[in-house]
Structure formats: C-alpha cells, structure tokens
Amino acid sequence: MRFSNIIAFGLFGANSALGLAILPREIAEIESVANATAKGIDVFGPIPDDAVKAHEGFYTAEEGTDAWAWIRAQIDIPAHARPATEKRQNYANIGIGMFAQDWCNGQAGWWDDVTYDVQHYVTLNMFSVGISYRGLRSNEQLDFSRQAGSDWCGKYLYSAGKNTPIGCFNSQAINCYRLTLH
C-alpha cells in the first residue's frame, strides 16, 4: 500500500512538471511567477485557499502564504501573456492590491475584481500598489487617500497617472483607493 502511494505521488509529480512546462518561458521566468510555481501554485487558477477572505472579492494575505505568492504573481503577469480563456471578462476586470512595504512586499490587501465608485480600504498603512489583469484606461481615475479622523478614506492624497500599466509602484502612506469611470 505504502509503495503504491509513493508511485501515485511520483506520477502526480510528473504531471505537475508537465503542467509547469506549458507556461510560456516569458511568464515562467518572471520571479514572482517562478516563486509561486515552485510552491505548486497555478498562477492562472483561483486565489489559493489560505487567503483570508474579508468579503466577496477582497482578500488579505501574509507574506509566505500561498495566497500571497499568487497575488504577487498576478501583478507581474503581462496582460498579453494571459491565455484568452483566463482573461477576466466580468465586472471592472481589474485587480488591485495594496501592500504594507515598498515594491509590493509585506502584508497584502487584494481586490480580485474592483467595483467602480467604492472606497476600498484597509486599516493598515500601505506603501505600494499593484495593478493586475489590465492597465488603467484613459477614462478611468484611480484616487488614493488615507485616514482622517474615523474615516479611513478621509484625506485625498493623489491620483494614479492616466493609463497606469500593470505592475507595482511605491506610494506615500495610503489606506484607501477608489476607481472611477468617466
């Protein structure tokens, strides 16, 4: 019994290796994708189970978890590299994360599909922002704010540049963002 278990496990390993080989080299070589893949995470699959789901579409993740590795990879995958079947066609079709440290490191808050006109906030000072799935459109405005009094979005700080592409950028301390369509 034990032996057959080992064989089954070995076969599973071989399948995984084949699965990984399907990732185009361009994607497989991205550091965050390589890190996630090494943990056995399918970066084109759903967010891993160890994500802490705050409410529908909003997750938090600690560095070192599978969910964190998955989130980090989403920010680095170029839009054109996503298989057509994996492209998110619903809702605003954009993923936005805020991170507690520079360059999208540290504790993460991740919105898998951002809703327009809603103040999205975390009760922690965040210092970088990652945009995934697609860049901002010319008719979209992404505003950042921080806490003022009891309002986590009370003080408007700045807006992201027009057509900000996919990827990570550092920020002054923020707690909150809102995406608006003009």
List contacts with ligand NAG (CB under 6 A).
Answer: 31-32, 35, 72
First and final C-alpha spacing in the chain? 63
User: Of the two residues 75 and 160, which places its CB atom closer to ligand NAG in the complex?
Assistant: 75
For residue 131, the minimal CB distance to ligand NAG (Å) is: 15
For residue 126, the minimal CB distance to ligand NAG (Å) is: 17
Q: What's the DSSP call for residue 44?
A: T
Q: What's the DSSP call for residue 173?
A: E
**In whole angstroms, what is the distance from residue 35 CA to residue 80 CA?**
21
Contact 61/68 with Cβ under 8 angstroms?
yes
User: Of the two residues 103 and 156, which places its CB atom closer to ligand NAG in the complex?
Assistant: 103
User: Of the two residues 10 and 40, which places its CB atom closer to ligand NAG in the complex?
Assistant: 40
Enumerate residues 6+ apart whose C-beta is below 8 A from 141. 159, 160, 179, 180, 182
User: Of the two residues 72 and 120, which places its CB atom closer to ligand NAG in the complex?
Assistant: 72
DSSP per-residue string spanning 100-159:
EEGGGEEEEEEESSPPTT--EEEEEEEEEEEEESSPPPTTEEEEEEEEETTEEEEEEEEE
User: Of the two residues 72 and 82, which places its CB atom closer to ligand NAG in the complex?
Assistant: 72
